[in-house]
Each structure stands twice: as C-alpha cells, then as structure tokens.
Amino acid sequence: MQRVLELLLLSSTALAVIGDGFIALPVHKLQAGEGSAHFPNRLPIFDVVNGVAKSVEDDVNQIIQPIFGNGIFSGGSIQGTHSGNGHSVKYEVSLPSSSSQKGSNGPSSTDNKDTDPSKTGFSLDDLMNSIPTDFWNLIGLNKAPTSSDNGSKDADFTPSAVSQVEQPTSKSVESTAPGPASSASSSSSSEAASSSQPSEDSQPSSSANKKTGAFFLSLDNTQTLYTATLKVGSPAQEVQVMIDTGSSDLWFISSGNSQCKVNGGSIDCDKYGVFDKSKSSTWHDNKTDYSISYYDGDKASGTMGQDNITFADGFSIENANFAVIDNTTSSIGVFGVGYPELEAVKSKYTNLPFAMKEQNLIAKVAYSLYLDSRDAVQGYILFGGIDHAKYTGDLKAFDIVQSNDKYVYSQIPLTSVASSLNNYTNAYGLPAGSNHPKVGAVIYNGTDSFNGGVDLKDTPTLLDTGTTYSYLSKDQVESIVGLYGNVTYNDAGKAYEVPCWVGNPGNYLEFNFKNEQYIKVPTSEFVISVGTYASGAELCVFGILPGTHSILGDNFMRSVYAVFDLEDHVISIAQAAYNDNHAVVPIE
C-alpha cells in the first residue's frame, strides 16, 4: 500500500538568543526510520458546514474508504467490489476483534461499536491480508502491501494511517452550529461554564519578571507531525505535544493513561512525555470531562483543568486551560493553535494563542510558521512575530474565509494550480519569456514546458500542519494529474498514479492565490513511491488526494512562510527562504 513518506524528524537543540525578547529554539531533523510510522490526522470529527449529525458507520467509512475503495463498513465487516480490466472482484473483510490485538482498545464510548477500527487499533497488515489475492493482482500489485513495505520494521499501522481524507462529520445530535461535536460534560451546566475559565482566586498574577515580545518555539517533526516541547506545572514537567493549526485544544497525556505500557497498555508514553497532575502544586481541576475524536482514529478522554505552562525562559502562561488525558491510544498530546470555535467543549474558553495576548506575552493573537525544507536542519513556530529573513518577495495578506459566518478554519482562497516540467534536462525555472501564464496556456521551450494549469475558482483552502498530504475535489485533482498525461486512479492507494519522473529536480507546482501570490512547491513533495507493478516498474501516486474539503498539508507548508493573524482574521504568505538568518520584528 502506501510507503512511509520520506519525511523528517525534528529534535530540539540549544537555545539561541537573537534579540531582546526574541528567543530562538533551533531544531534538527533525523531520518524517517527513527520516527513513528503513524500518520496523524488531528482534525476533530464534526461538520462545520452543515451541522448534520452522521452515524458511526458514516465516520468509519470515511476512514476505511481510502484503503478499500468502494468498500462499505456495516455490521462489523467491510464489503465491496473492485472492477477493472473487464473483471470484477468482490471482497468482504471481517474486522479483527480487539481481543486479538497487540494493543489495548481505545477509549470506550457508548456511541461506538466494538468493531470501530478507530477504537480497536488493529494493524493495516491484518486488513490487507484479508483481501483476496485476486484483488491485488487486478490492480497491478503482485502482493498485499504490508507495513514492512513502508521502511519501518516495527511499525503498527491503523487503517487511518493511510486514511488522510479530512471530512469532518458530527457525532453530536445536539450541535447544529459550527464547532466540534463535543462529549464534554460536567456535574452541572453552570459549573462547566464557570470551570472552563480561571476563577477569581486563580487569575493570572502580574510579574515583573515576565517577558513580553515575540518568541520561538521548537518543533519536532515526527514523520507527519510537528511537535513542540512545553514545561507544565510546578515544578515543571517537560512534555512534547503535536502542533496543529487545524484544531484548538491543548491536551497532555496523563501519567495514569490506561493505554501506557507502564499501566498495562501498549503505548510508549515515555517517548514524548506525560503530565502527572498529582506532582504539580499549581494544578486546578475543573471537574469537567473532556472527550474528542480525530480522523486518524485516535481518541482522547480526560479532565479539563488549569496549570502554568512555560514555552521558553521568561515566557509562560499562568492558569492555562488544557485537558489531561486518562485514556487515549495516541502516544502524543496536541497543541491546537486554531480558532476557539474548534474547541471540543461546550463552554468555550481562552485557548493558548489568545491567552498569550491576554497575559501580555505577545501584542497580537498571531504567529508565523516556518517548517523549512525536507533536507534542512531548522524549523519553528514564532508567536507574536515575523522573521523577515525566512521568505523571499513580499508577504501577501488574504482574508480568512468564514464558515457559516464564523471564523472556524484557517482557510484562504486558492485560485489555481499550474505545473512546470523539465522532463529531460537539469534546467530550472520558467521558460524564457513567461511569468505567470493564464490558466490553460501551455508554453514549450525545448524540453521544458509550463502549463497554466487548473482553475480552482478561489476555493477556500485550509492551511494545516496536522495533515500529511494535500486535498482538493476529485475533479480538481484529476485536472492537475491530467497535466502529466493519462488520468489513472489507483484503488488500493486511493490516489491517482503519476509518472515517477514528475518528481525529478527542477519540476514544480505553482499555487496561485487570488492572482496576488504565487508559491512554488517542488513536485518531489507530491510524488510518492508506493511500490512496484507486477512488471517490476516503480509505481508512484500523487500527493494531492481527492476529498470533499480543500486542505494544503505539510507537503505544501514546507514551501511557504505563513503568518496566521487570528485577531485581524488574515493569513499572510510568501515563498519560504531556506537559510540560517533571522530578522525578527514583533507583530503590533
């Protein structure tokens, strides 16, 4: 099936002070084999477009369809038919029971069935080996793909490790307005409302030693996610969490998580750290339950509370709101930096980006994101500032597109995508005499070509660090793939095949935003080698996948410098510049 992308792991290094109030935390990248093979998808499960509640079967189908094509989940099994080359193969896969798994079940829930793959955590190999051999032969693969094909010997795959289609669906019949379908509850509605905010007695105190200004936060890129190291509680406990622009809550895994190995489970919770609230003298329990589900199949349930969080020396939040998770199959927590509308609790609270301004750490609710190249050694998130050395050209600001008249997702209009190909030479750049050709225009210059590409009609598109790949509508993806020749859909990978040479150096895609900003991304970010045909020829698929929501994930974000201003509701972008220089100024 899908080989693990050759993404990079970031790890923290020493501090580097680059100016008054500016603290840089450089990061190093390690090879993919040293990281996790799991592909997180930390978009909360809910529908902000229609507010329509869907069944558990609907949710599970969103997870399994990228693996099994038209297979449908029903009654504890997956049934489907694959057609091709004049033949048709039917298959039915009974989902492995939780009792036969290496790991423990995920969080229990009254509205989930025992056969929910996001709950049982069975491996992708278990599923793949259940498919008839004729199925794999029919689609041109000589055997069922296994996790060993992904370059990771010990990797356990869940179905959602390949399922990256981020299509929010709702499990809450109570929620009709945009926002997460939350399972949060409390002993009383009034207590929930009051406990999600600091009490009068626990309001942040002023401190002459507290710093104000922009500061960097380290990011560790573990395969397909970027993590930050935070210090929590008193005395401080160091914990890593996943940085996610597509969600809003902060939560840490509890030392008492039932899924941790030390507690009889299967998760290595020590890898990224846990929070032991019993050891913090400043922990305040809100007595409010917290529960959230993500489309990678992970779930988290625990308790909301407050404690102190330190990001860097002198930059800390007092009485920050977050959840401590007692039951999750995830090995790492989440640091959501999106709009509060995405919070998975009924009573909204001040999440960390807004708390930073509230407590005078930054002047504006804004941060800039620099993931750097796949081969570079540094990357970071910069709260309250812009590093002008990290981009070329001008930063162009675009209004964030609302959902149902509310600011929910960090999404901006994507106008078109064009392609520049250099099939046989090592030349770089656009053909002579061309700048940004009109959509549909094709220019040839020897063996180089530039295709004006596909009109996307200003599609609202989410910029999301929590997504590995990128997603557009089926028609849009087919139009882009058509720039490279025949459009062939691979049912096994749930992606479109492309010639592997499309990923050669010098080839790139150009993303057009409102005809005002053009971001070039090497096609190597989008060409994924997934194995071989029966003939032995290499098989590659395209890293922009069909979905009902438009998302530009990590394979795009590494090429852009992005400034998220959640206060003025704009996102500014420019072409990323890969260097070791800094020119940081605060965002006023």
Residue ranges covered by each domain of the chain:
9-34+182-368, 60-154, 411-565
Average pLDDT over every residue of 77-81: 53
Assigned CATH topology for domain 411-565: Cathepsin D, subunit A; domain 1 (2.40.70)
pLDDT of residue 376: 67
For the ranges 6-10, 253-257, 421-425, 493-497, the lowest mean pLDDT is seen at 6-10
Buried b / exposed e along 194-230 (16+ C-beta atoms within 10 A): ebbbbeeeeebeeeeebbbbbbbbbbbbbbbbbbbbb
Return the active site residues. Answer: 244, 464
Whether the predicted pLDDT of 421 surpasses 70:
yes
Residue 222 makes CB contacts below 8 A (sequence gap 6+) with 9, 10, 35, 36, 332
Among 14, 492, 44, CA closest to 248: 44
Give me the sheet containing 87-94, strands edge to edge.
Answer: 72-74, 77-84, 87-94
The answer to the question of whether 290 is labelled as a binding residue is no
Q: What confidence category does residue 298 fall into, taking pLDDT thresholds of 50, 70 and 90?
A: confident
Whether the predicted pLDDT of 98 surpasses 50:
no
The answer to the question of whether 543 is labelled as a binding residue is no
The answer to the question of whether 245 is labelled as a binding residue is yes
pLDDT of residue 580: 85
Whether the predicted pLDDT of 533 surpasses 80:
yes
The answer to the question of whether 244 is labelled as a binding residue is yes
The residue that leads in pLDDT, 120 or 532, is 532
The answer to the question of whether 256 is labelled as a binding residue is no
Report which DSSP code applies to 157: P
Q: Cβ(439)–Cβ(510) under 8 Å? A: no
The residue that leads in pLDDT, 233 or 170, is 233
Rounded to a whole number of angstroms, the distance between the first and last alpha carbons of the chain is 48
For the ranges 52-61, 289-298, 527-536, the lowest mean pLDDT is seen at 52-61
Chain-centroid distance of CA 551 in Å reads 10
Domains 9-34+182-368 and 411-565 equal at CATH topology level: yes
CATH code of the region 9-34+182-368 = 2.40.70.10
Tens of pLDDT, residue by residue over 126-140, are 445 555 555 445 444
Average pLDDT over every residue of 532-550: 89
pLDDT of residue 16: 30
The answer to the question of whether 249 is labelled as a binding residue is no
The residue that leads in pLDDT, 297 or 290, is 290
Q: What confidence category does residue 220 fall into, taking pLDDT thresholds of 50, 70 and 90?
A: low
Buried b / exposed e along 279-299 (16+ C-beta atoms within 10 A): ebeebbebebbbbbbbbbbbb
The residue that leads in pLDDT, 10 or 277, is 277
What is the rounded CA–CA span in Å between residue 240 and residue 27?
A: 13
Q: What confidence category does residue 378 fall into, taking pLDDT thresholds of 50, 70 and 90?
A: low
For the ranges 248-252, 281-285, 417-421, the lowest mean pLDDT is seen at 417-421
Q: What confidence category does residue 123 fall into, taking pLDDT thresholds of 50, 70 and 90?
A: very low
Report which DSSP code applies to 158: P
For the ranges 26-30, 187-191, 354-358, the lowest mean pLDDT is seen at 26-30
The answer to the question of whether 568 is labelled as a binding residue is no
Whether the predicted pLDDT of 484 surpasses 60:
yes
pLDDT of residue 228: 83
The shares of helix, strand and coil residues in the chain, as percent rounded to the nearest 5, are 15, 40, 45
pLDDT of residue 548: 80
Here the tokens at position 544 are 């922009």
The answer to the question of whether 307 is labelled as a binding residue is no
pLDDT of residue 312: 76
Q: Strands (DSSP E) along 346-463, which ranges?
A: 366-370, 380-383, 385-387, 391-399, 411-422, 442-445, 448-463
Average pLDDT, the chain: 69
